[in-house]
Amino acid sequence: MAFVNWLKRNLVVIAGLVTLGYLLLPNVVVTVFSFNQPKGRFNYEWQQFSTAAWQDPCGVADMCGSLSVSLQIALWATVGATLLGTMIAFALVRYRFRARGAVNSLIFMPMAMPEVVMAASLLTLFLNMGAQLGFWTILIAHIMFCLSFVVTAVKARVMSMDPRLEQAAQDLYAGPLQTFLRVTLPIAAPGIAAGALLAFALSFDDFIITNFNAGSTVTFPMFVWGSAQRGTPVQINVIGTAMFLVAVLLVLASMVVSNRRNRQKA
Amino acid sequence: MATLTEAPPPLTPTAPEETPPRKRGRLVPYWLLLPGILWLLIFFALPMIYQASTSVQTGSLEEGYKVTWHLSTYWDALSEYYPQFLRSVLYAGSATVLCLILGYPLAYLIAFRAGRWRNLIMILVIAPFFTSFLIRTLAWKTILADGGPVVGALNTLHVLDVTSWLGMTSGDRVLATPLAVVCGLTYNFLPFMVLPLYTSLERIDVRLHEAAGDLYAKPVTTFRRVTFPLSMPGVVSGTLLTFIPAAGDYVNADLLGSTDTRMVGNVIQTQFLRILDYPTAAALSFILMAAILIMVTLYIRKSGTEDLV
């Protein structure tokens, strides 16, 4: 009876943990199979423990090249989308202007559109213009779909900002540029950083839009997609595992640092 | 700025001096908006127009295409590919319902029961994003492999008999069946359900739960009458964030399914990139967009939360 009561009280916790397990199971499989030594071309069945792939992560033709293409595109897309998106966010929060509703819906639409529709329509534009598909068309597309997410992230932060801080700075004879650089920007920085991180993650992992507009350029997701047809090298799992570990370590480190800072303040 | 560095001319009234910066100030928002909005207009809005125009063109790759208002492309595309359209709605719908059922307890756990584990669980929900979703989707090929432990367990529990009867699986296989595709879609879009649910649950005042308990409401009643209605914003945006991308997805159907599980995204992809039948592909993509816009509008109207999204 006590057990049944305990179960009743904790049912939601158990169900939640089961879902969490469902979310994490593929990552466990990816990690375990990065130590596999598959027999055929595909790495779907467990054969034998081996660290060969970890010792030679770039041992597969073209994989590390595609990784560097992805990093370059993600970097430039982040710079572009963060710059344009932050400007739009400031305009939306700080100024009154006409066509505000239209601007808002233009920013919302890309987030509510299935990726395949954006990808296909952008391809018709590039085909009609006779544009050469490749690095630049991918970059253009990535800045386009990352932009809205940056605007949303930065807007949330700037909206919660106390406008009196800027007024105070101006009362203390700070010019507009000085106020912006020394008061507004530092306060908005976490929002801008969050937007930039989101843009980087979205761009780096994008497949559908890239698939349509890449031409013969191969990004890392494109490489993985191709290998699902030709044969999956173990090195893919090595990269996947390494990215997961680096991300989790970075997040944990930032949490420790902010905890320590908070404790020092208190 | 220039006015600050320039010395004010002596003996002139201040009024004419104040006007120019103000005028410039009024244009500031437009300058801030210009580059980003232009980008969206050229690379998001304009392509939609090009797509619409492509869908009513006829011609061939060699001879070029001309707008001929050939509207029967739409009719032909619909009559040939309506099974794929239906499948997209069915699979994306099932995945959305499953995401809600699976995601709600997790969001509830993070919001109310996790205590000091809250941050860690949040990280674990977001962390999978950092491994390419294609690699993680391929991992499901291993998990659902024929004769593997998962399929074995589902067989022993007679789950596969039920899903076979529903037409979701065939025989002892899960891979290359609709069930595998729905499972992959559910997995891929689950965080998009959990995060908005968590945001709206977290805003709920815990004292409301206590008040309901004080008024002799059982936990189930408290959930049904207090918690769930208050989490509706999260439910609405979560279902939209799951359904829309799932309906247009072709990755899961391609990697985990078979030719019998092709969704409309698969058709658009092959028409555009392999068969190079641009008018049909554009028409299909246009229909998908219109269908989703209509469904989303109706859904938002019905749930009465128009200002949410």
Provide DSSP, B20-39: HHHHHHHHHHHHHHHHHHHH
Residue B59: strand pairing partners: B65
Locus of tokens 């219109």: B290
Torsion of CA A10, A14, A19, A20, to 10 degrees: 100
A256 touching B, CB under 8 A? no
Say which of A30, A109, A212 has its CB closest to residue B135: A30
In this predicted structure, what is the pLDDT of residue A82? Answer: 97
Q: Residue A222: which of B180, B184, B135 has the closest Cα?
A: B135
**8 Å CB contact between A234 and A27:** no
Rounded Cα distance, B301 and B135, in Å: 38
First to last CA, chain B: 39
Residue A67: strand pairing partners: none
Phi and psi based region of residue B171 (left: phi greater than 0; alpha: psi -120 to 50; beta: remaining): left
**8 Å CB contact between A212 and A117:** no
A236 touching B, CB under 8 A? yes
Chain B residues near residue A236 by CB distance under 8 angstroms: 135, 138
In this predicted structure, what is the pLDDT of residue B24? Answer: 53
Does the distance separating the beta carbons of B139 and A29 come in below 8 Å? yes
Does the distance separating the beta carbons of A20 and B129 come in below 8 Å? no
Q: DSSP for B243-282?
A: HHHHHH--HHHHHH--GGG--HHHHHHHIIIII--HHHHH
Spell out the domains of chain B, with CATH numbers in brackets. 90-231+238-262 (1.10.3720.10)
Name the fold adopted by A61-232. MetI-like fold (1.10.3720)
B204 touching A, CB under 8 A? no
Does the distance separating the beta carbons of B1 and A228 come in below 8 Å? no
The interface residues of chain B toward chain A in range 19-48, judged by CB-CB distance below 8 A, are: 28-30, 32-33, 35-37, 39-41, 43-48
**8 Å CB contact between B264 and B181:** no
Q: What b/e string do you get for B24-43 counting C-beta neighbours within 10 Å, with b at 16 or more?
A: eeeeebeebbeebbebbeeb
Please name the residue of chain A whose CA is at the shortest distance from the CA of residue B191. Answer: A23
Distance from the A99 Cα atom to the nearest Cα atom in chain B, whole angstroms: 10
Please name the residue of chain A whose CA is at the shortest distance from the CA of residue B285. Answer: A117
In this predicted structure, what is the pLDDT of residue B170? Answer: 81
Half-sphere exposure of A29 (CA within 13 A, CB side): 21
Q: What is the pLDDT along chain A (266 residues), one digit of tens a residue?
A: 788 888 888 899 999 999 999 999 999 999 999 999 998 889 888 988 999 899 999 988 899 999 999 999 999 999 999 999 999 999 998 888 888 889 999 999 998 899 999 999 999 999 989 999 999 999 999 999 999 999 999 999 998 888 888 889 888 988 888 888 898 899 999 999 999 999 999 999 999 999 999 999 999 999 999 999 999 999 999 999 999 998 888 888 888 888 888 877 66
Residue A112 is which amino acid? A
Torsion of CA B157, B158, B160, B162, to 10 degrees: -130
Please name the residue ranges forming H helices in B127-224: 133-143, 149-156, 159-165, 178-202, 206-214, 219-222
Chain B residues near residue A16 by CB distance under 8 angstroms: 105-110, 113
Interface predicted TM-score of the whole assembly (ipTM), two decimals = 0.90
A26 touching B, CB under 8 A? yes
Say which of A97, A108, A123 has its CB closest to residue B30: A97
What six digits make up the tokens of B243?
Answer: 């359904």
Please name the residue of chain A whose CA is at the shortest distance from the CA of residue B147. Answer: A45
Q: What b/e string do you get for A165-195 counting C-beta neighbours within 10 Å, with b at 16 or more?
A: ebeebeeeebebeebeeebbeeebeebbebb
pLDDT along chain B (309 residues), means of 10: 43 41 68 95 95 86 75 90 95 97 96 89 88 94 90 88 86 90 96 94 91 90 91 92 95 94 95 90 93 87 61
B150 touching A, CB under 8 A? no
Backbone angles phi, psi at A25, to 5 degrees: -50, -50
In this predicted structure, what is the pLDDT of residue B3? Answer: 40
The interface residues of chain A toward chain B in range 101-130, judged by CB-CB distance below 8 A, are: 103, 106-110, 112-118, 120-125, 127-128
Which of A8, A9, A124 to mutate to probe the B interface, most B CBs <10 Å? A124
Locus of tokens 């674990």: B124
The three-class DSSP label of residue B11 is coil
Helix (H) or strand (E) holding B66: strand B64-67
What six digits make up the tokens of B189?
Answer: 């879009």
Does the distance separating the beta carbons of A84 and B50 come in below 8 Å? no
Chain B residues near residue A106 by CB distance under 8 angstroms: 37, 40-41, 44-45
Residue B178 is which amino acid? P
Distance from the B86 Cα atom to the nearest Cα atom in chain A, whole angstroms: 16
- Neighbouring CB atoms inside 10 A of B285's CB total 32
Distance from the B258 Cα atom to the nearest Cα atom in chain A, whole angstroms: 13
What six digits make up the tokens of A32?
Answer: 């375990």
Enumerate the domain spans of chain A: 2-52, 61-232
Backbone angles phi, psi at B237, to 5 degrees: -70, -30
**8 Å CB contact between A47 and A38:** yes
What six digits make up the tokens of A258?
Answer: 């902010």
B190 touching A, CB under 8 A? yes
Distance from the A255 Cα atom to the nearest Cα atom in chain B, whole angstroms: 9
In this predicted structure, what is the pLDDT of residue A260? Answer: 84
The interface residues of chain A toward chain B in range 53-82, judged by CB-CB distance below 8 A, are: none
Rounded Cα distance, A110 and A121, in Å: 12
Does the distance separating the beta carbons of B28 and A12 come in below 8 Å? no
Distance from the B245 Cα atom to the nearest Cα atom in chain A, whole angstroms: 5
